[in-house]
Structure 1
Amino acid sequence: MSAEPVSYDFRSPGRLSRERVRALQVANETFARQLSTVLSTTLRAVVHARVVSVRQVTYDEYVRTLPNPSLLTVLAFDGLPGAGLFQMPMGVVMSVIDRLLGGAGGKDQPSRALSDIETGLIRSLVTRVAAELTYAFESIAPVHAEVTSLESNTQFLQLAPPADPVVTTAVELRIGDQVATATLCLALSTLKPVLASVDQLSAPAVDGPRDAAARSVEQRLQQVEIDVRVAFREVTLTSAEVFSLAVGDVVPLRHPVAEPLVVAADGVTVASATPGSHGKRLACQIVGP
């Protein structure tokens, strides 16, 4: 069976690379798992959440797909431009509130705006959900989300110009026998600074196999063990003096007491050091390059 056709707007072509889409997919799947955990522990019921799709659309296209009324959680991100939106159908929200108040949370729930008490109950829940975005995006870049307001009518919500691109994630929720779809909408302007780190991680692959081999050789050279020698100043003796050496003879080193010793590797002087001890072992302390 062939897939259903998807409309394509040539005025706003896709600008997400394959690496960026893959990184967003991983982050959103992590967010879905954390959302499932938060809802399960809060409602004391088995809740399943899975990512259905991750798409780039315009803000106007996204808003048109939202049922009215809906729970619209407006998100702000520290140090990042733009805003985000976490949306849940009002039927699911009323079911969640019913369970929080001790009810069974059945399907037959009213579809209306929230009261002040209901808003307070659901705000504490969506605040925990927003905090999970920080954990979900931790593998990409630090993201700190905060809930700024709760809305119910999509007509009074204008987070971005209609033609601005956004990235939307559809998450299927299963709470008991109830199935619904929640969405996460993040402005592309908000995600660009975050996804810049993905481009930096994928950049070394463009260098080619020669640069990769050079980096591998350099890393291995850093691990090669070499012999390091700590010595006094060299002394020059004649061959006759060397052959006449006997047990008990004293050879003057002509090394001043205040002058540091020489630290050399393969005959190349690399540092200066003063002699001493470390516990029961002889040691030297580096005093200069």
Structure 2
Amino acid sequence: MSDILSQHEIDELLNALDRGEYSLHEIKTAADERRIRPHDFRRPTKFSKEHLKALRSIYEHYARLLTNFFTAYLRTLTQVDVVEVESLAYTDFVSSLSGPVTLSIVNFSPLEGSIILELSTDIAFALIDRLLGGKGMASEKERDFTEIEIAIVERIIVQMLNIIREPWKDVMPVKPVLERIETSAQFAQLYSPNEIVALITFNVKISNVEGMMNICVPYITVEPIISKLSTRYWFSSADKPTDSRTKEIITSGVEKTKLTLTVILGKTSITIGDLVELQVGDVLPLNTDVNSELDIMVGNLRKFQGKPGVRKNRVAVKIVTIIGKEDE
């Protein structure tokens, strides 16, 4: 909308002044109020928009790596996305914590101070359940974590911290070390209430469970390298290959991922009328010849062909053909 008044609007304003509906003092006061914005000197904005953009780039890279790692490590579909990157006072972050929490206090060496990684309880319990052989379900009721559960979470956090090195390496090669895990917000008083922090919020989806993850980065921790927090570094390094350690972690998890192989004996078509009349003992002729090779599916992809048989008193199939991409 334009801030320039039309001639008609100017005429209306002058007429209103003549009628005494407005005074010049009121108009001047309203204009001054629009120009003045309140500033809280107790909470100075130390992170610029450029700094927050750089942090978003770093942690979007981290989210992609974390998605790959969780999918391989947990052997289930996982998605991690950055939702928001904002600057706020440390007290606002602490005030948002309630109930049982998982706060990982992380030494961000060689930088001074610690960052905080917070996992929502739903995601933490889903991780624990999955690693203990479950489907990755959240706890049905709010409860505290057991010592064994904290030990499992600790093992996962250590892996997550190894991965965080990769997106930070072009700004500052960091060696994050987990100092401890707290499950109560009252033990999170690491900084003064008015200390400015950058809060990176992620949405994490593990199987059917969805929850949040936060990383709290105090300004005083990154202050020595704040000039390096520029999106220019990101565009020059976004296409660089993942380091060998991260590749090793992801590859190790992928190699252990279980896949479902299905052997297709054959197919046929019948009417709905015949389907509802099927009984035990009925024979369905298939479109497969007795001596033909059977398709072997990996998920929804046709990857092999084989011959059926028996081995050690179990039905088996012998792979005789490997199907290339052009034949899938």
1:143–1:194 CA distance, 2 compared to 1 (3 A): farther
Aligned-pair distance for 1:112? 2.5
Corresponding residue to 2:150 among 119, 124, 130: 119
Aligned-pair distance for 1:10? 5.0
- Which residue pairs with 2:179 in the alignment? 148
Aligned-pair distance for 1:127? 0.4
Corresponding residue to 1:59 among 70, 76, 90: 90
Aligned-pair distance for 1:191? 1.2
CA distance in 2, matches of 1:106, 1:128: 21
CA deviation profile, 1:129-150 (whole Å, cap 9, x unmatched): 1122211212222122110001
Across the aligned residues of Structure 1 and Structure 2, the Cα RMSD in angstroms comes to 2.2
Q: Is 1:164 aligned with 2:164? A: no
Retained in 2: the 8 A contact 1:91–1:111? no
- Which residue pairs with 1:40 in the alignment? 71
The SS at the match of 1:73 is strand
Which letter maps to 1:166?
V
CA distance in 2, matches of 1:95, 1:109: 11
- Which residue pairs with 2:136 in the alignment? 105
Retained in 2: the 8 A contact 1:73–1:150? yes
Q: Is 1:128 aligned with 2:128? A: no
- Which residue pairs with 2:121 in the alignment? 90
CA deviation profile, 1:140-184 (whole Å, cap 9, x unmatched): 221221100011100122111111111110000111222111100
- Which residue pairs with 2:101 in the alignment? 70
The SS at the match of 2:150 is helix
Retained in 1: the 8 A contact 2:202–2:212? yes
When normalised by structure 2's length, the TM-score is 0.56
CA distance in 2, matches of 1:28, 1:52: 10
CA distance in 2, matches of 1:46, 1:82: 34
Which letter maps to 2:106?
L
Which has the higher Rg, Structure 1 or Structure 2?
1
Aligned-pair distance for 1:8? 7.7
Aligned-pair distance for 1:29? 0.5
Which letter maps to 2:175?
H
Retained in 2: the 8 A contact 1:95–1:105? yes
- Which residue pairs with 2:206 in the alignment? 175
CA deviation profile, 1:3-35 (whole Å, cap 9, x unmatched): xxxx98553132223332221111011111122
- Which residue pairs with 1:27 in the alignment? 58
1:95–1:76 CA distance, 2 compared to 1 (3 A): same
- How do 1:180-259 and structure 2 match up within 5 A? 180-198=211-229
1:78–1:98 CA distance, 2 compared to 1 (3 A): same
The SS at the match of 1:94 is helix
- Which residue pairs with 1:277 in the alignment? none
Which letter maps to 1:146?
V
- Which residue pairs with 2:112 in the alignment? 81
Retained in 1: the 8 A contact 2:102–2:181? yes
- How do 1:265-284 and structure 2 match up within 5 A? none
Retained in 1: the 8 A contact 2:109–2:174? yes
Which letter maps to 2:188?
L
The SS at the match of 1:121 is helix
Gaps of 5+ in 1: 1-6, 203-289
CA distance in 1, matches of 2:98, 2:178: 21
Q: Is 1:16 aligned with 2:47? A: yes
Which letter maps to 2:132?
L
CA distance in 1, matches of 2:84, 2:113: 22
| Percentage of identical aligned residues | 25
CA distance in 2, matches of 1:42, 1:109: 24
1:103–1:80 CA distance, 2 compared to 1 (3 A): same
CA distance in 1, matches of 2:53, 2:193: 26
1:183–1:9 CA distance, 2 compared to 1 (3 A): farther
The SS at the match of 2:152 is helix
Which letter maps to 1:178?
V
The SS at the match of 1:50 is strand
1:8–1:122 CA distance, 2 compared to 1 (3 A): farther
When normalised by structure 1's length, the TM-score is 0.63
